């Protein structure tokens, strides 16, 4: 007996079924997500990353930061991310709509970085990242994060010292020999721009309704205890 058609149909339906489940249903629920226009701010959120931060995201990918850091804050009830200060709310699908590649990550050897731009801000934040990349022990004693010193260049000063020299921010043991300076490379600049920009906005109205409606535990209990009364 020729079973080829049956085998073909079996394989066809198995593939069609998984394609519908994995690709189509996700496409239908997430592909229509749009930015939300905020009247008070006069901007649509989430916003796109500025160009240098977008380049920094490639450096982030290239250096494998994703092996130790996640970019997804878990919803209350699924972990202690919010108590740890990794965000004011859990991440939702809309946060990622502008991203061609999303570095959610799966290992948390270090903190979640989805809102790192809210923790290290402006010039002080930039200086912190410079010290941390040069040697994590400067800012975080005992850290197991490796130094990323190749994001810096030690070079001899030709003419005037560069306004971008960073050695003044580093401790004594890292000072370059006389006549030399340490500058952050373009990749280092871009990576720090990315970290400073990495921050999710306040929650969008639709998700606010979905994510933050308090679980009606107390209400349920009340109705439960109210029911027997009502039944009597």
Interaction site with ligand HEC (CB under 6 A): 60, 63-65, 67-69, 109-111, 113, 116, 119, 136, 140, 143-146, 148, 191, 195
Q: How far is the CB of 76 from ligand HEC (least distance, A)?
A: 19
Which positions ≥6 away from 201 have C-beta within 8 Å?
38, 45, 46, 47
- For residue 118, the minimal CB distance to ligand HEC (Å) is 10
Tokens (6 digits) for 30? 């997430």
CB nearer to ligand HEC: give 57 or 94. Answer: 57
Query: Are 77 and 157 contacting, i.e. CB atoms less than 8 angstroms apart?
Result: no
**Residue nearer to ligand HEC on the CB measure, 130 or 203:** 130
The distance of closest approach from Cβ of residue 144 to ligand HEC in the complex, given in angstroms and rounded to an integer, is: 5
Give the residue nearest to ligand HEC (CB): 110
The CA-based angle 190-163-160, given to 5 degrees, is 135
Minimum CB distance to ligand HEC, residue 69 (Å): 5
- Distance, CA of 225 to CA of 164 (rounded, Å): 68
CA 98/CA 35 separation, integer angstroms: 9
């Amino acid at each position: 007996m020729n079973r080829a058609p049956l085998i073909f149909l079996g394989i066809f339906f198995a593939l069609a079924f998984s394609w519908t489940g994995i690709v189509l249903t996700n496409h239908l629920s997430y592909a229509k997500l749009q930015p939300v226009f905020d009247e008070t701010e006069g901007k649509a959120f989430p916003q796109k990353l500025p160009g240098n931060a977008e380049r920094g995201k490639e450096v982030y990918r290239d250096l494998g930061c994703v092996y130790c850091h996640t970019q997804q804050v878990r919803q209350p009830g699924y972990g202690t991310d919010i108590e740890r200060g990794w965000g004011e709310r859990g991440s939702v699908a809309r946060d990622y709509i502008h991203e061609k590649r999303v570095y959610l990550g799966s290992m948390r050897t270090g903190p979640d970085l989805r809102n790192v731009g809210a923790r290290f801000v402006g010039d002080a934040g930039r200086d912190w990242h410079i010290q941390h990349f040069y040697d994590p022990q400067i800012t975080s004693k005992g850290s197991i994060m490796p130094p990323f010193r190749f994001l810096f260049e030690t070079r001899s000063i030709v003419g005037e010292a560069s306004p971008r020299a960073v050695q003044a921010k580093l401790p004594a043991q890292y000072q370059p020999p006389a006549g030399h300076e340490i500058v952050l490379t373009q990749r280092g600049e871009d990576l720090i721009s990315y970290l400073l920009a990495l921050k999710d906005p306040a929650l969008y109205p639709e998700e606010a309704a979905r994510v933050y409606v308090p679980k009606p535990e107390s209400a349920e209990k009340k109705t439960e205890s109210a029911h027997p009364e009502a039944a009597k």
